[in-house]
Amino acid sequence: MGELFDVTLNTDDVPLSRAELVAAMNDCDVLVPTVTDRIDADMIEQAGEHLRLIANFGAGTEHIALDAAAARKMIVTNTPGVFTDDTADIALAGIIGVPRRVREGVQLIRSGEWTGWTPTALLGSKLAGKVLGIVGMGRIGQAVAHRAQAFGLQIAYHNRKQLPEAIERMLSATYIEKLDDLLAAADIVTLHCPATKQTRGMIDARRIGLMKPGASLINTARGDLLDQDALVQALESGHLTGAGLDVYPQEPLVDERLIRHPNVMTLPHIGSATREGREESGVKVIANIRMWADGHRPPDQVLTGLN
């Protein structure tokens, strides 16, 4: 970017403050935010007249007030597809690790209290034959299903629209129209949908109550999708055997009750944390900016600037 444009960079991993972001938006033609940069309507209203493109680094755009950007005729782009495999891999870590109590095993070794193999130590659940319920069957959900087949899991999914029959056959996936029915049928539930007005808090106490006793819940999508208090209660009561979490509703804060639970894998939002994925996302950002600067439609346009 520095070779192509006149660039001001945030060169460390500390997010800009709201005031610093507003100042940047008053002084640039293009803003490149990440998922931690909350660009709300008031900030967009305060932006300078020269800001015409928000080229997001990442696929999700729920942290950007799209309606406000549209009202200011700004173009918004993202970088879809680049983190699909990376996020699916992290989801599989939870899908495998929670039923097999991997976190407990690691803690036992590190505590120095392991006394050796015994017939009943850390008994978990085998994966083969269990039902994996996938909520959201886009790119990442399908990548998870593809991987899960190799472990003998039965794939069931809920999505806004049913997938074409050919894709269902390829993934050996069964469509379940109602989310409640999917939750009741699955031994492991994994979330792969965006955070929207419709999906925020969708996995609440009532729906967690529908899940099988001893089931596990994996979330590598967005922390806002589930009611964290309801999840903790289900874990502490033993209704759920464990959880695998890479995202949280108030990051970087993580509920101490989740950290203390012996069978909750708490990861620090590393679903996209590969060198290859981050570089590819950067390449997409630059391609979007170059196409816009040359007067063409950016390839990954979310908002046209004409909405």
- As annotated, the active-site residues are 222, 251, 269
Length of the chain: 307
Residue closest to 81 by CA, chosen among 307, 303, 300: 300
Number of continuous H segments (helices) and E segments (strands) in the chain: 12, 11
Pairing type for strands 301-304 and 75-77 reads antiparallel
Burial class (CB in 10 A: 0-12, 13-18, 19+), 176: buried
Cα first-last separation, the chain: 28
Q: What is the DSSP string of 219-267?
A: E-S-GGGB-HHHHHHHHHHTSEEEEEES--TTTT---HHHHHSTTEEE-
Say if residues 15 and 36 touch (Cβ distance below 8 Å): yes
